[in-house]
Amino acid sequence: MVCCTDRSSSNRHSTCPKWILIFILLLMLFCFSNAQIHFQPVQKTGKPYAIIIRNAIINGSTVVRGTEFAVFDDTLCVGASVYQDSFPVVLTAWEGDAAYGLKGFTLGDSIVFKMYTQGISGEWQEFNPDVLYELGDGRFGTGAYAAVSLEFKENQTYLDNGYHPEDFKVKVYPNPFNSRVNFDLKNLPGNRYVLTIYSLNSQEVFRLQGMKENYGHYIYSWHGQNNEGKILASGIYLFILRSGNYFQSGKIVFQK
């Protein structure tokens, strides 16, 4: 680092320009914000296996910035990464190398996902999400890489206002579908509802807002169109149905 000399001082001590100090401070803040602080994975072994996380949802919403993802082989953390406001997130898992005494996953072992993020209470906690594989079969080393989506829904506490959350149900059929999928909404808790459909990269592709007419059934049929009325590509989509303070979520497969 190049420093300048303070010629006005009788001791002629060296001082660094302010811009260098500011740069160092910003660099330290950047490194800290991207640091892995909860999960402690094994060291790099030179034998990587890439896992692409397309999106991650907790309680119906995308995880917050700073969320940590990790993969385990049994109880050994073999890779971790941090979410920084955009997907996909690339996580590298490291295969073990017994010849050099390096710990890591064993080819063919099951992949266990964990994520460290904010829960309903606002506190940061460790969760074991459900995993949807777009590529791969849940075992380390299958294919060139794996691609997944993660989702976790906490058990929520509700006020006893005469309505019970187990009454709120969404039945989706047929699934997979090729021209139309029906959302059978039963016992919506609120006067209004919002049905939102997302692609696997967490982009909203369709939104419907409506008002219920009664406490019983309501069926809405979606034909695979986006908000502009254009038919979407075949693939896996996520839906979230919100009504009042409650929601239901799930996955649908569009096969044209």
Output the 3-class SS for 57-94: EECCEECCCCCEEEEEECCEEEEEEECCCCCCEEEEEE
**Which CATH architecture group holds 165-254?**
Sandwich (2.60)
pTM for the whole thing? 0.52
Per-residue confidence (pLDDT) for residue 194, from 0 to 100: 83
Per-residue confidence (pLDDT) for residue 155, from 0 to 100: 54
pLDDT under 50: residue ranges of the chain: 1-14, 28-33, 156-163
Per-residue confidence (pLDDT) for residue 211, from 0 to 100: 67
Q: What is the CATH number of domain 48-152?
A: 2.60.40
Task: Give the pLDDT confidence of 206-220 residue by residue, as tens digits.
Answer: 998 876 655 556 788
Per-residue confidence (pLDDT) for residue 22, from 0 to 100: 60
Residues of the chain with CATH 2.60.40.3080: 165-254
Which is nearest to 238 in space by CA: 203, 209, 211? 203
Per-residue confidence (pLDDT) for residue 120, from 0 to 100: 74
Per-residue confidence (pLDDT) for residue 169, from 0 to 100: 74
Per-residue confidence (pLDDT) for residue 201, from 0 to 100: 80
Per-residue confidence (pLDDT) for residue 244, from 0 to 100: 64
